[in-house]
Chain A
Amino acid sequence: MATTETAATRMSAAAAAGSGGKYLTFMLGREEYGLPVLKVREIIKVMDITHVPQVAAHVLGVINLRGKVIPVIDLRRKFGFPAQEHTERTCIIVAEVELAQATVMMGVVVDAVSEVVNVLASDVDRAPDFGGHDDTDYILGLAKVKGSVKILLDLDRVLGSDGPIAIRPI
């Protein structure tokens, strides 16, 4: 009973999120992405990141956010974009992510933060199914806003799905 209920809650939350609301949009390469704004805690400049050994390449390490140690992820690497030097506009979006049944704060490095947009449910299309894989599972939908398409992300699935970071063998 407990499991069906949490599943139901999660589904309804996902459905609600997918059907519209406020999104923080940001750039990765030439693509524009959106995160549910309720998940975003703050946006900070890129700071010194302490590297942690033995972790997957997209995990940059940890930062000290006013006394809290939080992991930082490079979304470029996670999505397989070519690496790029950090610029003036590179930011870390600090967001809440569900990881192993707990809510943790995580930093996500993106090329540039754009704006907060209001997405209407009617403007969201489901992500196309590119075949049997669950590649696009983490995409809530594609939103048409002001003539451009924004890819709405389910951050829990982008980062939380693989659980603890895969440890690289030495």
Chain B
Amino acid sequence: MSPSPRKKTAKAARAAVDAELATFASDPELAEMFVADGLDHLGTIEQTVLKLETSPADLELVNDLFRPFHTIKGNAGVLGIGSVEAFSHKLETLLDLARSGSHPMGPIEIELVLNAVDLLRLMIKELPARAAGEVVTDVASRCQHVMAGVDAAIASGATAAVTATGPGEETTDSGATWLAEDSTVKVSTSKLDALVDMVGELVIAQAILAEDPALLRSGDERLSRQLAQVKRITGDIQRDAMSMRMVPIRRTFQKMVRLTRDLSKTFNKPTTVAIVGEETELDRKLVEQLTDPLMHMVRNTIDHGIEPPDVRAAAGKPPTAVISLKAFHRAGGVVVEIADDGAGLDTERIAARAVALGLIPDAGVLTAAEIHQLIFRPGFSTADRVTELSGRGVGMDVVRRNIQALRGRIEIQTERGRGTTFSLQLPLTLAIVDGLVLRVGQDRFVIPTPAVKESLRPRPEDVHTTHGRPCMVQVRERLIPLLHLGDAFGIRGTRERISDGTVVIAEDNGRPVALVVDELLGKREVVIRSLGEMFRGVSGIAGGAILGDGRIGLILDTGGLLALAARTASSGAM
């Protein structure tokens, strides 16, 4: 092997790195810390600015703003990232004036700080890509614009004595504050994920050991006592490892506050956000994936739910609307609520729209709750006009899909003229699911217990056929589509007659499907593992789980199975 060509590329790459990123590129650990730390501080700044907007005279808040900017500047200085340092320095100058009371923080200043936060976030996020020599967003002109804005603001506002150095002596401390904090340790999320995976493996290994036939046969009491001890410790480790990956939902809620602020201006519908339970903790991965659906919902609420101020006034409501975000633990899971005091869902209008779109034949047979569920149907939108942010009919169905992907449920409560509450019920973690193990031929599958409604052994007369093939099963006056898992998945050696096997009724958002299986093997907790990129697009399968004997059972996805059942029914044959 001749190493020369590889060396050459590496050299070329190094030459391409911006001069100011030399330290950043050479110390990946420090670089990672800087990025994580910076984004953290920007989150704090954003939160503080939004508070400041409501109480502009609070100098304590200005001080709280100054400090994180100062830290970012200091850290950037240590790493020699001039662009970030100069930009944050400019903002720091403004805030320094503000905290000494010589420059008031008006709407212009707040807008400037928020713009700066957005730009800094972009710059810092893209640093690793930049260090790798990739082309990144050119923010220079936008930075110039903000910096010019700051200069203008200072020039116009600070007619009073311009005291360049503020009171606190913090300005002179070393910038690298992260080095001083020792009560917490920052660990990269990939390391944490790896730990949680390994602990999952340990739990499984322990379960396999506990079920070992040789052990069960031996009946040695001392051995089983020691095993029970191992089991207890393993459980403790698992709980602790999981808790390390738990984060408060605060950051996500803050994003909604910012979004609401921006959107209420766009739509000219003054709206504030009230937050309850921002300290509620849930799995980091869940929090990440919750942001998008929540943003969609807030957009929808402001666009469709909240009335314009004059309409509100006419209805005797305060002109400023309130969206309340609430998070709390319930029954081993987490509930996130988005409530507004807007117009509420218009049941008649939704029904009329659904009929017009051909989603339902006739609204007469549906209850109000069933009609409200229609807003989650793909392509549904009652907005008469297509707005910039919502009204394209891609909102709520995406929300529901995202929530389902997190194994959660979404419920609506609404009252005309009083408002709407969307309630998301989510599992505490994505890593573990309580499942029912099914046997089909020689294969085993796991279906998440929350999706299972009941299981039964159908009488032959309850199984209805089309074209000679069983396609529906009657359960207490209700016809439910059948899906023969063995046929659908091409598994050999399954039972011939449905009435000899077992039918599991699973539900996905109120739509049932009857799965024909050979046997129920029992309930157990399993660690969900992704099957990886290769199996993306396989419908009806959500992942894999390592079962007690070390073999993999596939985890079923009810939504995908319903689609499969529909396809099977429409094609008539397989």
Contact = CB atoms under 8 A, between A and B. Distances in A.
B550 interface: yes
B546 A71 contact: no
Interface in B194-215: 197-198, 200-201, 204-205
B533 A164 contact: yes
B541 A12 contact: no
A16 B6 contact: yes
A59 interface: yes
B537 A167 contact: yes
B13 A5 contact: yes
B488 interface: yes
B550 A64 contact: yes
Nearest to B12: A5
Given A5-B133, A99-B533, A104-B533, A54 B552 contact: no
Contacts, number: 114
A106 B133 CA distance: 31
Nearest to B537: A167
A155 to B, nearest CB: 14
B127 to A, nearest CB: 15
A76 B490 CA distance: 21
Interface stretch (A45-53, A82-90, A136-144): A45-53
Interface residues of A, number: 40
B322 to A, nearest CB: 44
B3 A16 contact: yes
Interface in A29-69: 48, 50-55, 59, 62-64, 66-67, 69
B443 A50 contact: yes
A48 B530 CA distance: 18
A50 B489 CA distance: 12
A50 B544 contact: yes
Tier of interface size on chain B: 35 or more
Contact of B9 (A12, A51, A55, A63): A12
Given A2-B134, A12-B5, A59 B534 contact: yes
B267 interface: no
Given A51-B443, A170-B567, 6 more contacts: A5-B13, A16-B5, A50-B443, A64-B551, A102-B533, A164-B535
A13 interface: yes
Nearest to B546: A64
Interface of A: 1-2, 5, 8-9, 11-13, 15-17, 19-21, 48, 50-55, 59, 62-64, 66-67, 69-71, 99-100, 102, 104, 106, 121, 164-165, 167, 170
Contacts of A106: 534
Given A13-B6, A170-B564, A52 B531 contact: yes
Interface in B518-553: 529-541, 544, 546, 550-553
B248 to A, nearest CB: 30
B161 interface: no
Contacts of B200: 67
Contacts of A62: 531, 535, 544, 552
A52 B133 contact: no
A contacts with B: majority SS: mixed
Contacts of A167: 537-538
Contacts of A2: 132-135
A52 B541 contact: yes
Given A50-B551, A67-B198, A67-B200, A164 B544 contact: no
A11 B11 CA distance: 16
Nearest to A164: B536
B535 A55 contact: yes
Contact of B534 (A13, A63, A164): A164
Contacts of A17: 1
Going nearest first, the 6 A-B pairs with the smallest beta carbon separation are A67-B201, A12-B5, A53-B489, A50-B552, A2-B134, A16-B1
Contacts of B490: 53
Contacts of B532: 69-71, 104
B266 to A, nearest CB: 35
Contacts of B2: 16, 19, 121
Given A5-B133, A50-B551, A64-B546, A19 B535 contact: no
Given A13-B6, A62-B544, A69-B532, A50 B13 contact: no
Contacts of B553: 50
A20 B491 CA distance: 44
Given A19-B2, A67-B198, A104 B534 contact: yes
Contact of A53 (B13, B488, B551): B488
Interface string B399-425: 000000000000000000000000000
8 contacts: A8-B9, A12-B8, A62-B535, A62-B552, A67-B198, A67-B205, A167-B537, A170-B568
B554 interface: yes
B540 A53 contact: yes
Contacts of A8: 5, 9
B369 interface: no
B574 interface: yes
Given A2-B132, A50-B544, A52-B554, A67 B6 contact: no
A103 B207 CA distance: 30
